[in-house]
Structure 1
Amino acid sequence: MIPGLGMFCEAYFVFAVGNLSAVWKAEYPECWKKHTTCSQSLSNSITYTQVCGIIFGQLVLGFFADRIGRKWGSVATAGTMVVGGILIVASSGPTDRALWAMFTAVQFIFGIGVGGEYPVASASANERAESSAALSKRRGETVVLVFSMQGWGNLVNTAVIIAIMAGFRLYAPPYDSYGMEVTWRLSYAIGLIPLISILLYRIFRLRESAVWQKKREALQAMGGAKASGVQWRKFSLLMRYYWHRNFGTSMSWFVWDFAFYGNKLFQSTFIKIINPHATVIQILEWTLLNSAVALVGYYFAAFTIDKPWMGRMRMQVMGFAWMFVLFLICAVHYDQLSTNKYIHAFQFLYYFSSFWGQFGPNATTWLLPAELAPTEVRSMCHGFSAAVGKAGALVAGVVFGLVDNRTKFWISAFCGLAGVILTVITIPDVTSLDLREGDRRWLAILDGHHDMYHGDAVKPKNLSLIERLLGYGRLYKPHADEQYSGSKADEVAMAAAKGVEMEVVDEKAATKA
């Protein structure tokens, strides 16, 4: 829960925009409904500005977290979110236009912190599992449980808004203007409590990642490649030997976010189909139900992702396949499903798709980019994939605003099909792979002897279809790998691994004491 509080806070604030849009339409109708005091582009730009900030943070903070470490990367993301969150609560102006102009601008600042939280939290969770004997076989579970706090953030935000509205007895129009304004400002202010708490915890209590620190120290001690950052040579080698992995993780995240955020934007429209006369609080209650269904999906993902019969790739294929089938049914039978006779079937299909989205690509797209990259560039690779994914959300916001409701389901269905194809071709299943083997292979590549590494990282079962077609699997020779273990690059990898193991032993001794 504690490592996941950053994801909780980012979701609490990010999804608040969608949850509060009905409140703002009721409180500021001249700006949000009639568009006489504000242009429609201003109200629409809140989401776009936030997503742009997220993309910027994913790329920039993801890059720097590999240089300054996981602790100070985590402090930077939380600190940026605190500044942005305070400015969100304090947004004001003499006119509606001035108020929402400030609100839109500070969403970019908050988005930078949110963007940085993605790669830093994922890399830190992977490395915490790698450095713990108890968690090494539950790496996927550990990372996904951290990510599941995002689902709690969305759920709690919706519940807080409903509770505040109920406290002011805002059950039906006409709504009290003062009560509506307090509702949205107080809901954001409540979100600042865990956000400031996690910032203080990270500054004073959070320890640096043992995996990142020991591998950096080992590289410096061996006099090998500089550990101070990602040089152009490293970047070119990363693109040469890992381009298919980065392409697969980024594009599968793109099609997932395109469908996921497109449907999030469409959520209020869908609720209006179920209940055309829904009040603001009723819309939020339907949203709360959807959030609860989605949250169950996170836990199904966490507790099955490390099972040999499931794994990462199968889970992602399964989730995308269910998306394709469910949204295809909605698209083909849209006219019938939107009638009173079949509206409950429509409701089931829509919410069931939320479950499979979390029990599938939402969990795996967050986990895989950090698992498939070496420690030295893990945060940067995750940030790149996440940024491409958020670009999908940005494109969805534009495209879904230009097409009719039925077409939205057609688009979402074929996003699911595209996700299945991308996963099968480009995503390896590394469920049983020790991430230290990935680092050994990377150091051999840096050493100029990629063909001398013959360990488990090139074992065919741990490679994607495209990697097997490129011939990487032919390098797997367990007996030859024993001879390679005396090389300079392997000494660096082994020294780092030994340092991490000593860190774990010291931690156990301290716990006993």
Structure 2
Amino acid sequence: MGKEQLGVLNALDVAKTQWYHFTAIVIAGMGFFTDAYDLFCVSLVTKLLGRIYYTDLTHPKPGTLPPNVAAAVNGVALCGTLAGQLFFGWLGDKLGRKKVYGITLVLMVICSIASGLSFSDHPKSVITTLCFFRFWLGFGIGGDYPLSATIMSEYANKKTRGAFIAAVFAMQGFGILTGGIVALIVSAAFDKSFKTPTYAENRAASLAPQADFVWRIIVMFGAIPAALTYYWRMKMPETARYTALVAKNAKLAAADMSKVLQVELEAEEEKVAKLTEDRSNSFGLFSNEFAKRHGWHLVGTTTTWFLLDIAFYSQNLFQKDIFSAIGWIPSAEKMNAIHEVYRIARAQTLIAMCSTVPGYWFTVALIDYMGRFAIQLMGFFFMTVFMFALAIPYHHWTLKPNRIGFVVIYSLTFFFANFGPNATTFVVPAEIFPARLRSTCHGISAAAGKAGAIVGAFGFLYAAQSKDPTKTDAGYPPGIGVKNALIMLGVINFFGMVFTFLVPESKGKSLEELTGENEEEDEATEEQATPNRTIQV
């Protein structure tokens, strides 16, 4: 038998879906919308930066970013995100979810704007400024991961909790889609207005000064949705689970949730005091008790997120290079700088609209019926299958008549990433750890994911280069080639399937039931009653 659930927490668990649930999804989700926009919009302008700042007009081909610069531009925000997930995840358990939530949003607004500014037009200055502010932008984004997931899990009822958390994460799909649409609109407007010639026609004129505005507008646009969300975030009350179980304030928890649920809730001060004073309910992250109860769970959430993000971020950040490799996007010298942004944005918007966004919402619709485990296992399985389907007959796909087939199968890998582990790795860590460690453990799991993203961002950049040193551009070293890089991603997805077996199913259970916070007192009492039951070996 477990402890009797606190009334305020039980009220949240059994509450019918109400307006406040949708409000919480939108408020938390707009943070994720901004996160995705800011993280992935840089992939739309990376080639443009190379053409503007690294083109030698005596060379027959447009300039590209040197490998170390390209790695920094694509990966520096991910490094900041990793640090932010660890720091703000820990801070969210120490100071409360709400207090830290506003800090991350302000940081995102300021750094989104600053990323599009530079102190001069010298290439080193522009790239240094961009990378500096994108690191701190990533730091703010990092905080949004554990806080948004934890807040939504602690507000939700147990019947549809998975769908609510997944809906917050699904806003990432709209962020990626919006990034493509904004890039399409901005590039089309400038390209049409100035009728810029292609690089082959006029090298100097193809790099019109207006191109410098294009990337800055695209990057800075990310500040708008974050700024619009700030007021509503500050109006959200602290979650009852933090207030009652961590801050130990029964009156405030009952008062806050009475307003949210629009019912009268009793402040159970004695029950909260008894629950929080129990020694068996106070073990720390680095204790043997945590290792015994949740150690393998943490290994499961960190390894699966790490492996997933290697593949997911490789695909997202470098799909423009893959599309160029198979010839779906024309060679750069056949376009001007602005039109190249348009073509890249069009390709990525099409992928997002047809596969990325639907994949997220399939998860939202089915996660509380199929369960987290089944969706994650299925997603990794199909990602593995489709990666090998692209990689093994790779040269078949590079032939012009077969390019559409490549794009369709490539889109399916995005669909099953999002109707699969990309959503579930976000949902599960927000459910299976104790309230006092929930934000911290989610931050650790997410940081492991961003470590995988960094491996993907830096590793794929080099690995996917041509195997023939004579065919590499701008000083890129010869790599293993796109084909072998895709095979590697298939193998990584297979191992994601294997490590999924360490992650428990959390469908339909209350958070306290999952974490054992309702059973600890009875277990401790039983141990005291039978002190000599230890088996000698």
Give the TM-score of the pair, scaled to structure 1. Answer: 0.80
Aligned to 1:277: 330
SS of the residue corresponding to residue 504 of structure 2 reads coil
Q: How does 1:147-226 map to 2 (within 5 A)?
A: 147-169=169-191, 173=198, 174-175=205-206, 177-203=208-234, 205-216=235-246, 217=248, 221-222=273-274, 224-225=276-277
Shift of 1:37: 11
CA shift, 1:39, in A, is 5.2
> Which residue is 2:316 aligned to?
264
Alignment of 1:403-422 (within 5 A): 403-422=480-499
Name the CA distance, whole Å, in 2 between partners of 1:327 and 1:183: 33
- Counting helix residues as a fraction of each chain, which structure ranks higher? 1
- 1:144 equivalent to 2:143? Answer no
Say which of 424, 430, 442 aligns to 1:364. 424
Q: Which amino acid aligns with 2:350?
A: L
Equivalent in 118, 122, 126 of residue 145 of structure 2: 118
Give the 5 Å matches for 1:80-95.
80-95=107-122
4+ residue stretches of structure 1 with deviation over 6 A?
31-38, 450-453
Whether the 8 Å contact between 2:112 and 2:221 is mirrored in structure 1 is: no
Measured at CA, do residues 148 and 276 of structure 1 come closer, stay the same or move farther in structure 2, by a change above 3 Å?
A: closer
* One-letter amino acid matched to 2:412: F
Aligned to 2:12: none
Query: Retained in 2: the 8 A contact 1:26–1:175?
Result: no
For residues 238-267 of structure 1, what are the alpha-carbon distances to aligned partners after superposition, in whole Å with 9 as ceiling and x for unaligned?
223211100001100011001111122330
Kindly tell me: are residues 124 and 46 of structure 1, through their superposed partners in 2, closer, same or farther at Cα, counting changes over 3 Å?
same
Shift of 1:380: 0.5
User: What is the deviation of 1:431?
Assistant: 0.6
Per-residue deviation, residues 265-308 of structure 1 (Å, max 9, x unmatched): 3301221114251633112101101111200100001000001x
The residue that corresponds to 1:59 in the other structure is 86
Q: Quote the residue 2:55 is aligned against.
A: 30
Q: 2: distance between equivalents of 1:225 and 1:233?
A: 17
Note closer, same or farther for the CA distance 1:175–1:162 as it changes in structure 2 (3 Å cut).
farther
Q: Is the 8 A contact 1:122 1:366 kept in 2?
A: yes
Unaligned runs of 5+ in 1: 131-135, 454-513
Q: Which has the higher contact order (CA 8 A, sep 6+)?
A: 2
* 2:329–2:343 Cα contact (<8 Å) kept: no
Does 2:311 match 1:286?
no
In structure 2, what is the Cα distance between the partners aligned to 1:169 and 1:186? 14
Whole-Å separation in 2 of the counterparts to 1:451 and 1:394: 47
- 2:172 is matched by which residue type in structure 1? Q
| Cα distance change of structure 1 residues 191 and 414 upon mapping to structure 2, 3 Å threshold | same
* Contact 2:83-2:139 at 8 Å conserved across structures: yes
C-alpha deviation, 1:451, in angstroms: 6.7
Post-superposition Cα deviations, 1:302-351, rounded to whole Å, max 9, x if no partner, equal 000001xx110000000000011111111211111221232221111101
The Cα RMSD (Å) is 2.8
| Cα distance, 1:38 vs structure 2 | 7.8
From the superposition, tell whether residues 451 and 44 of structure 1 become closer, same or farther in structure 2 (CA, over 3 Å): farther
Q: Which residue of 1 aligns with 2:468?
A: none
Residues 235, 289 of structure 1: CA spacing in aligned structure 2 closer, same or farther, 3 A cutoff?
farther
Alpha-carbon contact 2:308-2:496 (below 8 Å) kept = yes
Deviating more after overlay: 325-334 vs 312-321: 325-334
The SS at the match of 1:90 is coil
The alignment's TM-score, normalised by the length of structure 2, stands at 0.77
Q: CA deviation at 1:120?
A: 0.3
Cα offsets for 1:417-455 (capped at 9, x unmatched): 1111111x201111121212134x2465589729779xx
Aligned to 1:449: 524
The aligned counterpart of 1:14 is: 39
**Cα displacement (A) at 1:190:** 2.6
Unaligned runs of 5+ in 2: 1-25, 199-204, 251-270, 332-339, 464-479, 529-537
Which residue number in structure 1 is paired with residue 439 of structure 2?
A: 379
Identity of aligned residues (%): 28
Could you tell me how far 1:85 is from its partner in structure 2? 1.6
Q: Secondary structure at the match of 1:137?
A: coil
Comparing 398-407 with 37-46, greater Cα deviation is found at 37-46
Q: Deviations over 1:384-439 (max 9, x none)?
A: 0111111111112233213310111111111121111111x201111121212134
